[in-house]
Each structure stands twice: as structure tokens, then as C-alpha cells.
Amino acid sequence: MWMAATTSLAGKVKTLVRAAGEGIADAAALLRAGQLVAFATETVYGLGADATQAAAVRRIYKVKRRPADNPLIVHVLNQRQAEDYAVGFDDVARILARRFWPGPLTMVVGRGEKIPAEVSAGLPTMAVRCPAHKAAQRLLAALGRPIAAPSANLSGHVSPTTAADVLAELEGRIPLILDGGPCRVGVESTVIDLTVDPPVVLRPGSVTVEMIHAALRRKLGTRVEAIGTTSMSGNAVAKSPGMSKRHYAPVTPTYRYLRGEWHQVRAWLNRYRPRARVVRLSCEKSGAVGGQEVLIHLSAKGEQCARHLYKNLRTADSRGYDLILVEMPPDRGHVWTAIRDRIRRASQEWPP
Ligand code: AMP
Ligand code: MG
């Protein structure tokens, strides 16, 4: 069984940050040579390798310190390239590709023989997505082959949504970051498994279950209602090992509480952690802010809340606070399902 190396890298490399518009040809040359390049996508920044080179793909796991059982997403230029490298790209996949590609929807289908097993952590399947960001599109076009890329952070950390975030995570470990500005979506792609019937959403994202239902209703009829989100169930964890519950997490101890619970949280802090420097993330504009406490406002608009969620978590994490407290927004479906999912993974339930 193939194993990813988890030891630290021997020599440091100099990491260049270049505007995506100017660095494409060099980035493609690095990828062709088996090196790694971080690049902007509309969801979060990716850490890319030529998906057809097993040694380059192994390097991703090493640089990220990613567990060997957590498969990568294969990025493609278009549907034609997806069909060329996958097997079993069926009618359902075609409908979803036509409706949501290029864009933040990843489909799990069969893995073709041109994609090495390392990409999928040994699974016979592969996750494939066509990104909409110009930088990603141009890089894929210049390389002429698919790019395997997980998020460009160290394993378990919050995903990067700017080139500066990537530099903070991976400086000295990769030669090049293609800066394409802040990511528009801000949370990782929706992942849907099409190798089971009915399909199942393994990770919620900005392409919502409601949108997928609408796209497939004509094809699947009432069976479409069976497509749900199971990212938090044990079943999905077994199916997709990277979906482990704790993920995307700040280093500072982070707790989530429910709307309306803040007064209890405050009383608990006063009693048990009176000296703790606390940062609170909440959709509510006002509310009691104690002496030692800082408030970061999360947007009450779903898309904006998602776009800035990781930036806000990184800010909260970077200022030396003792505790981060995040208010869980109410379950209003749509993109809130993804936001709640990421907050759950970033935090532990309060009270500890
Ligand atoms: P990341 O790009 O870091 O957000 O991680 C990609 C995620 O996609 C992984 O953590 C997996 O959960 C999921 N994924 C990738 N490939 C597969 C696959 N073949 N089957 C199921 N899930 C997958
Ligand atoms: Mg990731």
C-alpha cells in the first residue's frame, strides 16, 4: 500500500507570489516538471500538481502533511477533459456539468487509468471539478492536462482565500503562488457522489442541495428528493475519509454557541475564564461586549458570510486571543448548510 511521507521537507525553496496574469506559462512549466503551484480558484486557493504524475501528486501530501487516506480533487478545463480522464461520466454527470460548470461543484465518478491511484488515496473513484476562476482556467489550458489540487493550506488548517493566506501557510515549501485576488465563493466546493444511486452530497457548498434537486428533477422525478447531505454522518466519513469532523480549524481553541445563548456563555466566561481574551464571531450587529472581548461581525447575507468566513476565522486566530467563540447561524438551508458545516468542523460545542 502506498504511503504519503509525513516528515518535514529537507531543503527550503524560495516561494514567489506572482500575479496570475503574468505567471501562467512559468506555472505550467513547473507543473510539467513535477513541481507544485498554488493557484486561485473561485472557492479557495488550490495546491496543484499535474494529476497524471504520481510522484508530483505524492509531493502534495508531503508538503501539506495531508494524511494518505484523504483523496484530492482533479481539476479539469471542461467537460470533455473530464470525460477523457474519468469513467462512468453518465447522463446525471452531464446534466450537472452543463448546469454548474465551470463552477464550485465536484462530482465523484469512476477513475480512469490515466489518473494514478495516489490522486484518490487508492480509491477506484475520482473527484472532478471544472473551476470558473480565470487563473485556474488559463493554467489548465496551458498545461493541457488535469490538475490535482486540494486546498493550499497545511492539513487541518483553515483554507486560504487570498495569496497572502497561502504564503502564510506554505512559504518555503512551494516555488510559486499565482495570485488571482480574493476568492469569490470562500468555502470549498460542493462534493456529490454519483457512484451511488441515488447520488449523495458528501460536502455542502455554494451549489446547494436545493439547486441540485432543481437541476435533476426532470431526469430523476421524485427520486431527486432522496439526494441529501450526509457530510456529518459516519457513512460519509467512511466513504470519503477527508470528511473527518474536525477540519478547517483555527489553532486557537474555538467553541460554537447557539443564537440566544450568549448571556450564558458570558456568565460562564466570567466564572471560569475571567481573564481570557475572547474574540466572538456573530451575525448579530450588537450585543453585550465585555471589557476583554472583541466582536467580528459575520454577514447575515449567506453568500457574503461564506465569502469572508475563513478570512474572519484567520483574523480571529492571528491576534493571540485565548478563545474564539462563534455563534452558529440558524439553519435556513441553501448556502447556510455549508456555512454551518464549516463552523461545526472549525469548532467544538460550548460548553466544553
Ligand atoms: P480539499 O480539496 O482539501 O477540500 O479536499 C477534497 C475533498 O474531496 C476530500 O477531503 C474528500 O473528502 C473529497 N474527495 C476527493 N476525492 C474523493 C473521492 N474519490 N471519493 C469521495 N470523496 C472524495
Ligand atoms: Mg482542504
Residue 239 domain-assigned (yes or no): no
The model carries a pTM of: 0.93
Q: Do 48 and 166 have their domain in common?
A: yes
Ligand 1 atom nearest to 150, measured from its CA = 2
Cβ–ligand 1 contact at 108 (below 6 Å): yes
Q: Do 113 and 8 have their domain in common?
A: yes
pLDDT tens, N- to C-terminus, the chain (352 residues):
233 333 344 568 999 999 999 999 999 999 999 999 999 999 999 999 999 999 999 999 999 999 999 999 999 999 999 999 999 999 999 999 999 999 999 999 999 999 999 999 999 999 999 999 999 999 999 999 999 999 999 999 999 999 999 999 999 999 999 999 999 999 999 999 999 999 999 999 999 999 999 999 999 999 999 998 775 444 444 555 555 556 678 999 999 999 999 999 999 999 999 999 999 999 987 655 566 678 999 999 999 999 999 999 999 999 899 999 999 999 999 999 999 999 999 999 999 8
What total number of domains does the chain contain? Answer: 2
Residue 352's alpha-carbon distances to 97, 253, 322, 347, in angstroms, are: 43, 10, 14, 11
Among all ligands shown, which has an atom nearest to the Cα of 43?
1
Angle at CA of residue 49, ends 52 and 81, nearest 5°: 50
Ligand 1 atom nearest to 125, measured from its CA = 19
Q: Whose CA is nearest to atom 5 of ligand 1?
A: 150
Report the b/e string of 8-22 with b at 16+ CB within 10 A: eeeeeeebeebebee
Q: Do 202 and 311 have their domain in common?
A: no
Cβ–ligand 1 contact at 38 (below 6 Å): no
3-state secondary structure of 134: helix
Q: According to the model, what pLDDT value does residue 249 have?
A: 87
Cβ–ligand 1 contact at 60 (below 6 Å): no
Q: Do 263 and 219 have their domain in common?
A: no
Q: Do 189 and 291 have their domain in common?
A: no
Residue 261 domain-assigned (yes or no): yes
Task: CATH number of the domain at 323, please.
Answer: 3.40.50.11030
Cβ–ligand 1 contact at 194 (below 6 Å): no
Q: According to the model, what pLDDT value does residue 289 have?
A: 58
Q: Do 81 and 139 have their domain in common?
A: yes
Domain that holds residue 34: 3-226
Q: Do 266 and 204 have their domain in common?
A: no
Residue 247 domain-assigned (yes or no): no
CA–CA distance, 113 with 111 (Å, rounded to integer): 7
Cβ–ligand 1 contact at 71 (below 6 Å): yes
Q: How far is the CA of 351 from the centre of ligand 1 (A)?
A: 31
- Report the run of H or E that residue 29 belongs to, with start and end: helix 20-32
CA–CA distance, 126 with 108 (Å, rounded to integer): 5
Q: Do 40 and 184 have their domain in common?
A: yes
Q: Do 82 and 219 have their domain in common?
A: yes
Q: Whose CA is nearest to atom 17 of ligand 1?
A: 127
CA–CA distance, 107 with 220 (Å, rounded to integer): 17
Ligand 1 atom nearest to 127, measured from its CA = 16
Q: According to the model, what pLDDT value does residue 247 have?
A: 67
Q: Do 147 and 84 have their domain in common?
A: yes
Task: CATH number of the domain at 59, please.
Answer: 3.90.870.10
Cβ–ligand 1 contact at 104 (below 6 Å): no
Residue 292 domain-assigned (yes or no): yes
Q: According to the model, what pLDDT value does residue 237 have?
A: 46
**CA 117 to chain centroid:** 21
Q: Do 216 and 308 have their domain in common?
A: no
Q: Which residues contact 250 (CB under 8 A, 6 or more apart)?
A: 158, 313, 314, 316, 317, 324, 346
Strand 190-193 relative to strand 293-297, pairing: unpaired
**CA 154 to chain centroid:** 12
Residue 236 domain-assigned (yes or no): no
Q: Do 158 and 277 have their domain in common?
A: no
Q: According to the model, what pLDDT value does residue 234 have?
A: 43
Residue 56 domain-assigned (yes or no): yes
Q: How far is the CA of 46 from the centre of ligand 2 (A)?
A: 9
